Amino acid sequence: MIVVNELHKTYGETVALGKVSLTVKEGELFGLIGPDGAGKTSLMRILMSLLLPDGGTATMNGLDIVRDYKKVRLITGYMPGKFSLYPDLTVEENLQFFATVFGTTIQENYHLIKEIYQQIEPYKTRRAGKLSGGMKQKLALSCALIHKPEILILDEPTTGVDAVSRKEFWEMLKRLKAMGITILVSTPYMDEATICDRIALIQDGHLMSVETPLAMMQAFAEDLWAVRSKKIYHTSKLLGQLPSMISVNSFGQVLHLVTPKGKHTPQSIKEFLSLHDESELTVEPALATIEDVFILLMNNRKAKS
Amino acid sequence: MRTLYYILQKEFTQIFRNKSMLPVIFVMPLIQMLVLVFAATNELRQVDVAIVDFDNSTSSRKLTSEIAGIPFFKVKQNLVNTQEAEDLLMRNKVDLALIIPQSFDKDLTLNKSSEVQILVDAINGSAAQLSLGYLSSVIAGYSQKILLKTAVPGSVMMKNIVVKPTYWFNPQLNFKYYMAPGILVVLITVIGMLLGGMNLVREKEIGTIEQINVTPIKKWQFIAGKLLPFLAIGLFDLAFGLLVARLAFNIPIRGSFLLLFGMASIYLVLVLSLGLFISTISDTQQQATFVTFFMLIVFILMSGLFTPVESMPDWAQKLDYANPLYYFVKIMRSVILKGSNFPDIINEAATLSVFAASIFGLAIFRYRKTS
């Protein structure tokens, strides 16, 4: 279990973390969702005792991250955002090294990494620097797991990894969760959020919402419309002038239009657009995605400040 | 201890996998010993002299031929005026110009003393001094001959003090004997200060230090892991360099090997720690290289390796008390050339040990696992 209590960190004028409080339950797969610079890495580095907080406390399975940092490091596995294994050592040598410095052996905890490591085992004599992005992540995860940690902290493990490897990676996380490991994972990809048990949306060092992905999507407070049109750019500009409109964002070929609850109907939106020579389009109510939730919360925050 | 063993195992694997490492270990000592020891010499091979003879007498021509007879001097004669000699000096065609006045012979025969003028190109100060000294001694020798010829036998003039110097520890004044131990010091200093430090800061650059920092590896284990492999390489290169010096220059190694390598170990711990300390306060290899090079140059030029410390101003000599190279150059020369024993160098050894211990401690202290 990870308990974060009003953690605070600033870099000069910039607030990296503004009194963040959070609880990750035992055996939970918890996602930290937010854009670059939101404070995800700072939070994780503080939990890993690589960075000292300016204020607040945190415990990992009851151990204080500042006072008991040595013990914390023994029960946690960490995968930094940047690939940080030795590129000039082979796959096997890297794994061997991290096993031995934790006082264990590959054999002893092989069952933990078996499924992941088997995929890269054919390349075990290859230098880590020569692996593909997906294989590097698998090796890094193996190295983070080799000392049988109770908690796993993964900083953007899927950034820069191809779609197939990303999917595989999340499947692996689910299996690790099934083994009882508590996992805190960060990602800038909103679509990955739905795989997590619970997620926290983080922006500018503040948590905007902490919920299960489903509850978060269902609790979307405004009306959301999916607008399809041939001239998507033109339509999106026009919708920007729709009275009392909250936001328009493009999701591939579809525009997501947010309007205040009960303010508009598909008909009223169509009418507004036809006034401006836009008629070849469809407007239908849509279910909110995590990204819609994030954008709405972000706009609300901006409006407040 | 087991952890340290695994760290060392990893470091050595990486070092020997690094393609630029083997050339550094083997080629650098060879080049330094075989090229620098020859190049860094104060011995003069040839000095060009322009002679302007206004007198054109028997005496002046004798002096000229006396100088021309020495293979070391290459003489340009038959110059008409001083201007011509000065031009040659300006154009770097000659190193010295000797001007013999018109009254030279007359002054000599009238038994008065006579004067000649020597112009020296002093762009290279030490070469200028050496060549002037040599030319002066030739002229002095010539004047001695005249004295002997003209003097009445048994007169006061005959009495003379002849100085017969004996050069201890280096009887032939072989410059290579003097330089080789110093160049060896430079060799292991460069290895010590650069390799260990670069290795550490590289872990910062590629981010592996982040992963190391979350392991139970202790600070001293990590620093020792960076230090010991390069200590071994430094000692190996010292042995290799000594072997080259022995084979190529037949340099005498009079002191004990145990003392030599013991001192070198202390010194290497010192310079390695210094390099590692610089690395702990740098973020990139570039930063670390700049700082290290600056220190290296100051250390080397002030070490007494090329210029005697005794000729430096007082404040500079005092500054040298903080220069590790100063002590180690002294130790190396004493042990190799003089065969000094431990009691002879105990002061230098003690100072180096104190330096080594404190900088090693500082490097460990500065290496933080948490920012």
Residues B211 and B146 occupy one common structural domain: no
Identity of residue B121: D
pLDDT band at B151 (very low <50, low <70, confident <90, very high): low
pLDDT at residue A63 tops 70: yes
Residues B348 and B212 occupy one common structural domain: yes
pLDDT at residue B196 tops 80: yes
Give the chain B residue whose CA is nearest to the CA of A88: B14
Per-residue pLDDT tens over the stretch A103-146: 999 999 999 899 889 989 999 999 999 998 889 999 999 999 99
All residues at 6 or more sequence positions from B178 whose CB lies less than 8 Å from its CB, including other chains: B170, B333, B337
Give the chain B residue whose CA is nearest to the CA of A53: B371
Domain that holds residue A275: 221-287
| Number of domains composing chain A | 2
Question: Edge-to-edge, what's the strand order for the sheet holding A14-24?
Answer: A14-24, A2-11, A55-60, A63-64
**For position B135, what pLDDT does the model report?**
86
How many helices (DSSP H) and strands (DSSP E) are in chain B?
A: 16, 4
pLDDT at residue B154 tops 70: no
* Of residues A277 and B36, more confidently modeled: B36
B14 contact residues in A (CB cutoff 8 A):
86, 88-89
Residues B347 and B212 occupy one common structural domain: yes
Give the chain A residue whose CA is nearest to the CA of B369: A50
**For position B137, what pLDDT does the model report?**
85
Residues B14 and B130 occupy one common structural domain: no
Residues A174 and A274 occupy one common structural domain: no
**Angle of the B219-249 helix axis to the B2-17 helix axis, nearest 10:** 50
Residue at B164 is within a domain? no
Residue at A251 is within a domain? yes
Q: Report which listed range, A183-197, B75-89, B133-147, is most confident.
A: A183-197
Q: What's the residue count for chain B?
A: 371
Q: Do B215 and A102 touch (CB under 8 A)?
A: yes
Mean pLDDT of chain B: 87
Give the global pTM.
0.80
Residue at A299 is within a domain? no
Residue at B169 is within a domain? no
- Return the CATH number at A204: 3.40.50.300
* Of residues A275 and B172, more confidently modeled: A275
Question: Which of A50, A85, A103 lies nearest to residue B371, judging by beta carbons?
Answer: A50
Residues A210 and A249 occupy one common structural domain: no
All residues at 6 or more sequence positions from B296 whose CB lies less than 8 Å from its CB, including other chains: B189, B190, B193
Q: Do B210 and A80 touch (CB under 8 A)?
A: yes
Last residue of a domain, one of A217, A251, A267: A217
Residue at A225 is within a domain? yes
Helix (H/G/I), strand (E/B), else coil: B143: helix
Residues A168 and A134 occupy one common structural domain: yes
Closest CA to B29 of B243, B194, B202: B243
Mean pLDDT, range B181-192, rounded to an integer: 91
Residue at A294 is within a domain? no
Residues B351 and B309 occupy one common structural domain: yes
Last residue of a domain, one of B158, B189, B221: B158
Residues A195 and A95 occupy one common structural domain: yes
Residue at B215 is within a domain? yes
Q: How far apart are CA A202 and CA A204, in angstroms?
A: 7
pLDDT at residue A28 tops 60: yes
Residue at B168 is within a domain? no
Q: How far apart are the first and last CA of chain B?
A: 26
Domain that holds residue B240: 2-41+174-366
**For position A215, what pLDDT does the model report?**
92
What is the rounded (10 degree) CA torsion for A188, A194, A197, A202?
A: 30
Residue at A301 is within a domain? no
- Return the CATH number at B154: 3.40.1710.10
pLDDT band at B155 (very low <50, low <70, confident <90, very high): low
Any alpha helices (H) in B69-195, and if so which ranges?
82-90, 104-109, 125-150, 175-190
pLDDT at residue B370 tops 60: no
B209 contact residues in A (CB cutoff 8 A):
84
Residue at A304 is within a domain? no
Q: Do A82 and B2 touch (CB under 8 A)?
A: no
Per-residue pLDDT tens over the stretch A221-242: 889 999 988 888 888 888 888 8
Per-residue pLDDT tens over the stretch B80-125: 888 888 888 888 888 889 998 888 888 888 766 788 899 888 887 7
**For position B160, what pLDDT does the model report?**
66
Mean pLDDT, range B53-79, rounded to an integer: 86
Work out the percent of chain A whose per-residue pLDDT is above 70.
99
Residue at B339 is within a domain? yes
- The Cα of A228 is separated from the nearest Cα of chain B by a number of Å equal to 45
Q: Which residues pair with A60 in a beta bridge?
A: A2, A63
Per-residue pLDDT tens over the stretch A155-164: 999 888 888 8
Q: How many CA atoms lie less than 13 Å away from B318 in the CB half-sphere?
A: 3
Per-residue pLDDT tens over the stretch B306-339: 888 888 899 989 999 999 999 999 999 999 988 8
Closest CA to A71 of A144, A8, A149: A149
Give the chain B residue whose CA is nearest to the CA of A104: B3
CA geometry: angle A36, A41, A42, nearest 5 deg: 115
B6 contact residues in A (CB cutoff 8 A):
97, 100-101
pLDDT band at B243 (very low <50, low <70, confident <90, very high): very high
Per-residue pLDDT tens over the stretch A168-177: 899 999 999 9
Q: Do A101 and B207 touch (CB under 8 A)?
A: no
B211 contact residues in A (CB cutoff 8 A):
78, 80, 84-85, 98, 143
Residues B178 and B325 occupy one common structural domain: yes
Last residue of a domain, one of B158, B192, B212: B158
* Of residues B72 and B352, more confidently modeled: B352
Q: Choose, out of A100, A101, A139, the residue to mutate when testing the contact with B (most B CBs < 10 Å).
A: A101
Give the chain A residue whose CA is nearest to the CA of B8: A97
- Return the CATH number at A266: 3.30.70.100
- The Cα of B216 is separated from the nearest Cα of chain A by a number of Å equal to 6
Residues B215 and B280 occupy one common structural domain: yes
Residue at A297 is within a domain? no
Residue at B163 is within a domain? no
- The Cα of A102 is separated from the nearest Cα of chain B by a number of Å equal to 6
Q: Which DSSP state fits A60?
A: E
pLDDT at residue B232 tops 60: yes
Mean pLDDT, range A192-200, rounded to an integer: 93
pLDDT at residue B157 tops 60: no
All residues at 6 or more sequence positions from A147 whose CB lies less than 8 Å from its CB, including other chains: A74, A77, A98, A99, A102, A103, A104, A109
| Number of domains composing chain B | 2
Per-residue pLDDT tens over the stretch B9-35: 999 999 989 888 888 888 888 888 888
Per-residue pLDDT tens over the stretch B265-299: 999 999 999 999 999 999 899 999 999 999 999 99
Residues A92 and A196 occupy one common structural domain: yes
- The Cα of A87 is separated from the nearest Cα of chain B by a number of Å equal to 9
Residues A185 and A260 occupy one common structural domain: no
Q: Do A103 and B6 touch (CB under 8 A)?
A: no
Q: Do A84 and B207 touch (CB under 8 A)?
A: yes
pLDDT at residue A297 tops 70: yes
**For position B152, what pLDDT does the model report?**
60
